[in-house]
């Protein structure tokens, strides 16, 4: 059954739109696992906290320093891009997406990455101590990396953020947000029938709702045997930050008796929810 989540990945996502020579905006989101902790909209000078523990174990002063670094970065980034566009003769509008991540690994180690996409395609990443063009990136990506690699100060700052600041921030977040991150909410489950797929057949629907965290396993079974043809829906968000999933199975009407829906979720321990299809139900 799905294990309680023990490793969390931090993701920072930057979305920058350049409509023309003067209109631009940059928005940034920060996630820890499936929880959004930060929002930094273009209109705002400061990074917004979406959880009371978003500052982790950073002091006021450490947070101010980090935020200042990010403010300088956002201004410089915008200026840089305007310059690159001129230098490389690129056309507006352009979309740049930057994603930055940090995964804590066992034994106090961590793994971080930073990569950038241009018009939805990877163009470059930061590896070790330098900027590297992505495989299959346009030829100008070489030129861009060469230029970026001349700025030793920025490379040091990026390295410091990826390998020192972010892992430390994440460690503090795991500590301060522990109870919320380890929250377990049990699902409810119920059965219904959907529109018959064709005459003489039934569509059995198993609804599972209200669970947290997201990993869940829902199957149609006959006895212990998993039924082939089970259709997994997408896990959808409920409004109360829990999740919802429906799983359907099409069967001949005569075969429906003896089928059951089995739900495995970390909040249930070994006590799977099992719902039996009532062969006599009126659908
Ligand atoms: C995502 C985190 C990156 C943090 C980088 C922080 C460092 C920084 O802000 N550097 C800018 C200012 O640099 C000057 O001041 C520094 C001290 O504050 C140092 O002294 C430094 O030596 C000095 O030059 C600097 O202007 C950077 O160039 C800002 C932008 C860096 C960047 O990420 N560029 C970037 C990334 C992706 C450019 C292009 C892409 C891909 C898109 C391609 C489409 C055209």
Token pair of 62 as six digits: 């450490």
Tens digit of each residue's pLDDT (9 = 90 or more) over 16-40: 999 998 999 999 999 999 899 999 9
pLDDT of residue 152 exceeding 50, the answer is: yes
Q: What is the pLDDT of residue 4?
A: 47
Q: Work out the average pLDDT over 113-141.
A: 97
Q: What is the pLDDT of residue 2?
A: 53
Strands 35-40 and 24-32: antiparallel
Pocket of ligand 1, candidates 10, 70, 73, 122: which has the most ligand atoms within 8 Å of its Cβ, to mutate? 73
Q: What is the pLDDT of residue 280?
A: 67
Percent of the chain with pLDDT over 70: 96
Residue nearest to atom 44 of ligand 1 (CA): 118
Tens digit of each residue's pLDDT (9 = 90 or more) over 53-87: 999 999 999 999 999 999 999 999 999 999 999 99
Please answer whether residues 117 and 97 qualify as being in contact, where contact means their C-beta atoms are separated by less than 8 angstroms.
yes
Name residues contacting ligand 1 (CB within 6 A): 72-73, 76-77, 80-81, 84, 96, 98, 100, 114, 116, 118, 123-124, 144, 148, 151, 153-154, 157-158, 161
Residue nearest to atom 33 of ligand 1 (CA): 77
Distance CA 12, CA 101 (A): 6
Max intra-chain CA distance, the chain: 75
Query: pTM score, two decimals?
Result: 0.89
**Which parts of the chain fold into alpha helices (H)?**
60-88, 140-149, 152-160, 166-176, 178-181
Cα 65 to ligand 1 centre (Å): 16
Over the chain, what is the mean pLDDT?
A: 94
Tens digit of each residue's pLDDT (9 = 90 or more) over 182-237: 999 999 999 999 999 999 999 999 999 999 999 999 999 999 999 999 999 999 99
Please answer whether residues 229 and 250 qualify as being in contact, where contact means their C-beta atoms are separated by less than 8 angstroms.
yes
Q: What is the pLDDT of residue 282?
A: 54
Cα 209 to ligand 1 centre (Å): 44
Cα 129 to ligand 1 centre (Å): 14
* DSSP bridge pairs for 9: 103
Strands 9-18 and 94-105: antiparallel
Q: Which atom of ligand 1 is nearest to the CA of 124?
A: 41
Distance CA 183, CA 159 (A): 33
Residue nearest to atom 43 of ligand 1 (CA): 118
Listed in order, strand segments (DSSP E) in 129-196 are 130-133, 188-194
């Amino acid at each position: 059954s799905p294990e309680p989540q023990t490793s969390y990945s931090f993701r920072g996502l930057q979305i920058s739109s350049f409509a023309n020579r003067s209109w631009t905006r940059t928005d940034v989101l920060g996630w820890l696992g499936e929880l959004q902790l930060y929002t930094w909209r273009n209109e705002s000078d400061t990074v917004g906290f979406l959880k009371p523990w978003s500052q982790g174990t950073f002091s006021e002063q450490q947070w101010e320093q980090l935020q200042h670094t990010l403010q300088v970065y956002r201004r410089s980034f915008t200026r840089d891009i305007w310059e690159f566009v001129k230098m490389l003769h690129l056309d507006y509008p352009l979309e740049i997406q930057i994603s930055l991540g940090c995964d804590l690994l066992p034994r106090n180690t961590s793994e971080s990455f930073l990569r950038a996409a241009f018009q939805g395609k990877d163009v470059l990443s930061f590896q070790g101590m330098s900027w590297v063009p992505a495989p299959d990136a346009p030829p100008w990506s070489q030129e861009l990396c060469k230029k970026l690699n001349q700025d030793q100060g920025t490379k040091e700052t990026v390295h410091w953020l990826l390998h020192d600041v972010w892992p430390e921030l994440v460690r503090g977040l795991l500590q301060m947000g522990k109870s919320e991150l380890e929250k377990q909410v049990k699902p409810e489950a119920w059965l219904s029938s959907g529109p018959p797929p064709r005459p003489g057949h039934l569509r059995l629907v198993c609804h599972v709702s209200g669970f947290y965290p997201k990993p869940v396993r829902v199957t149609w079974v006959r006895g212990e045997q998993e039924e082939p043809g089970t259709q997994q829906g997408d896990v959808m968000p409920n409004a109360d930050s829990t999740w919802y999933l429906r799983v359907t199975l099409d069967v001949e009407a005569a075969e429906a008796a003896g089928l059951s829906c089995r739900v495995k979720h970390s909040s249930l321990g070994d006590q799977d929810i099992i719902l039996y299809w009532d062969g006599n139900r009126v659908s």
